Amino acid sequence: MALPTTLLLLSSVLAAACSNESTNSAASSTPNGSTSNEPFTLTMVDQFSQNQPPAEDDDFVKKVEAFTNTKLKITWIPGGNVNEKINAIIASGDMPQALIVFENKSTTLVNAVRSGVFWEIGPYLKDFPNLNKYLYPQVLDGIKIDGKIYSLYRSRPLIGDGVVYRKDWLDNLGLSQPKTVDELYNVIKAFTLNDPDKNGKNDTIGLVDESALRGFGYVLAIHGAPNEWEVKDGKLSPALFHPGYLEALKFYRRLYQEGLMNKDFSLQSRSQAHELLYKSQAGLRIGDPDMIIGIAAGSTNPNAKYDTFVRLKSTTGQERVFMSNGYTGNFFFPKSSIKTEADLKKVLGFFDKLSAPDMQTLFTWGIEGKHYSVKDGKAVVSPEQAAINSVVNNRRNEIQVVDGYQASLPGTRNPIDQAWLSAKQDMNNNVVPNPAISLISQTQTERGTELNQIIEDARVKFIIGELDENGWNNEVKKWRAAGGDKVIDEINELYQKMPK
């Protein structure tokens, strides 16, 4: 199979490894009943999110390949325009055995599924003990297409939003971690106007965001809006219609008009936005709390101190955050490269072994003696090991499908890792689910890009002052007329058929 880019072996993109895994598992029976010790060659297309793709020779790959009895051939594609590249691979028909997809409800993907391009894997999951045990049922429900499971998701915590900020700046200003929306605004303002780095210059901004408005979901939640849809009078209504949606936009608009956020956010990519944090030009980022790992690792200021939180009292008085979909990217399994059920079981068998407790330890902690030590049956990370881990952990879980925190070796994490994990766990009981997460509107599938663009463009224009409230409302009407109302009708038709 001629894949679109140079094949690279899996390497240090894998976030952890332990040195005492038994490689005897390599000789165990394969899922289709074969007892052959010959490694199974697995081709995969996956994303790398760092500046350079993984190196070809690494200790991690040896441990993964030995444990799973697999020879991995992975085509790594960079993060920029990744969805277009994946769509091109699907359109070409020249696919690997495991293909990463990030827009798993896109027109291209859904049409491919309905055309029989990919294997339905739901009926097989019960035959793989680790997948059956460690994949979350509520996440599996969310990735279904027409009620069936066609992919394995790359697990992430169910809470995906929070705030990462400069703790040293907060301390310099004598402020405390914000507890309310107003206090969050005050911190952002102080980070901009009150010389938080104490260099005597007016050279900082409070909030940094990007063209995709990564922080918007969190801001929606703290302004009382629903998670994409809400049940209202027995029907589903989009978040777009909720008063909290406009209030969230006004929050951003205020920050923009007062110069408290990056003026060119609408033109900046995620990496460009993060550069402002690395260079100590910005002090606060709304997004996934585990961004603290990459931000701390990329900082050019050795004295910078970071912290993160999720809990914040909303404008309605509640502490709430949206439940994420629980994954980032899904592996689909093309029939063109997996010809038989036996071969499908081999591929699923790889991911099953990759999800075993030893592999969860591998992805969670690192190589024993290098990334962690074992004391009293627990993993312990020294400051020296934490320095190495900060790089490794920023590149983790590119292929792992379970979250690694269910059955890995217990232990004490480095402070950066513990910060984001604690922040998310602190809000586990305050998540707001999306009641329509598994529902697929045909109109949304066919015209979703156009419909989403109407709203995305209008959001930016409202924030930067090109639209007033009337202008915003007119754009919402435009969205409705372009197919939004049809989406609402289709989603509600499907919702009424769901078991209540």
Q: Where are the domains of the chain?
A: 7-158+326-407, 162-322, 442-497
- The tens digit of pLDDT for each residue in 55-76 reads 667 778 788 899 999 999 989 8
Task: Give the pLDDT confidence score for residue 490 in this predicted structure.
Answer: 97
Backbone angles phi, psi at 156, to 5 degrees: -140, 160
Picking from 303, 278, 281, the residue whose alpha carbon sits closest to that of residue 292 is 278
3-state DSSP assignment of residue 306: strand
CB 323 within 8 A of CB 432: yes
- The tens digit of pLDDT for each residue in 162-188 reads 999 999 999 999 999 999 999 999 999
> Which whole number is the average pLDDT over 81-92?
90
* Identical topology for domains 7-158+326-407 and 162-322: yes
Does 339 or 84 have the greater pLDDT score?
339
Task: Give the pLDDT confidence score for residue 20 in this predicted structure.
Answer: 37
Task: Give the pLDDT confidence score for residue 88 in this predicted structure.
Answer: 93
25 pLDDT more than 80? no
- The tens digit of pLDDT for each residue in 259-275 reads 999 999 999 999 999 99
Share above pLDDT 70 across residues of the chain, in percent, rounded to a whole number:
88
User: DSSP class of residue 268?
Assistant: -
CA-CA distance, 198 to 41, in Å (whole number)? 56
> Which whole number is the average pLDDT over 216-241?
97
Picking from 334, 323, 291, the residue whose alpha carbon sits closest to that of residue 99 is 334
- The tens digit of pLDDT for each residue in 358-381 reads 999 988 888 888 888 999 999 988
393 pLDDT more than 60? no
33 pLDDT more than 50? no
pLDDT band at 30 (very low <50, low <70, confident <90, very high): very low
CA-CA distance, 130 to 148, in Å (whole number)? 20
**Chain-wide mean pLDDT for the chain?**
88
- The tens digit of pLDDT for each residue in 272-299 reads 999 999 999 999 999 999 899 899 989 9
- β-partners of residue 40 are 70
Does 36 or 474 have the greater pLDDT score?
474
Task: Give the pLDDT confidence score for residue 389 in this predicted structure.
Answer: 62
Task: Give the pLDDT confidence score for residue 395 in this predicted structure.
Answer: 47
pLDDT band at 45 (very low <50, low <70, confident <90, very high): very high
247 pLDDT more than 70? yes
CB 211 within 8 A of CB 268: yes
Please report, as a single letter, which amino acid is at residue 211: S
Picking from 13, 154, 125, the residue whose alpha carbon sits closest to that of residue 74 is 13
Backbone angles phi, psi at 248, to 5 degrees: -65, -40
1 pLDDT more than 60? no
31 pLDDT more than 90? no
> Which whole number is the average pLDDT over 336-351?
97
470 pLDDT more than 60? yes
Please report, as a single letter, which amino acid is at residue 275: E
Q: Over the Cα atoms of the chain, what is R_g?
A: 23
pLDDT band at 121 (very low <50, low <70, confident <90, very high): very high
Burial 417-440 (b: 16+ CB within 10 A, else e): bebbbebbebbeebbbbbbbbbbb
CA-CA distance, 400 to 355, in Å (whole number)? 7
CA-CA distance, 403 to 194, in Å (whole number)? 40
Please report, as a single letter, which amino acid is at residue 477: K
CA-CA distance, 451 to 140, in Å (whole number)? 26
153 pLDDT more than 60? yes
491 pLDDT more than 80? yes
Contacts of 215 (CB under 8 A, 6+ apart): 161, 207, 209, 285, 286, 287
Picking from 88, 149, 74, 140, the residue whose alpha carbon sits closest to that of residue 118 is 149
CA-CA distance, 280 to 277, in Å (whole number)? 5
CATH number of the 162-322 domain? 3.40.190.10
**At the topology level of CATH, where does 7-158+326-407 sit?**
D-Maltodextrin-Binding Protein; domain 2 (3.40.190)
pLDDT band at 53 (very low <50, low <70, confident <90, very high): low
Following CA atoms 55, 56, 57, 60 in sequence, which dihedral angle do they give, to the nearest 10 degrees?
Answer: 80
Does 404 or 310 have the greater pLDDT score?
310
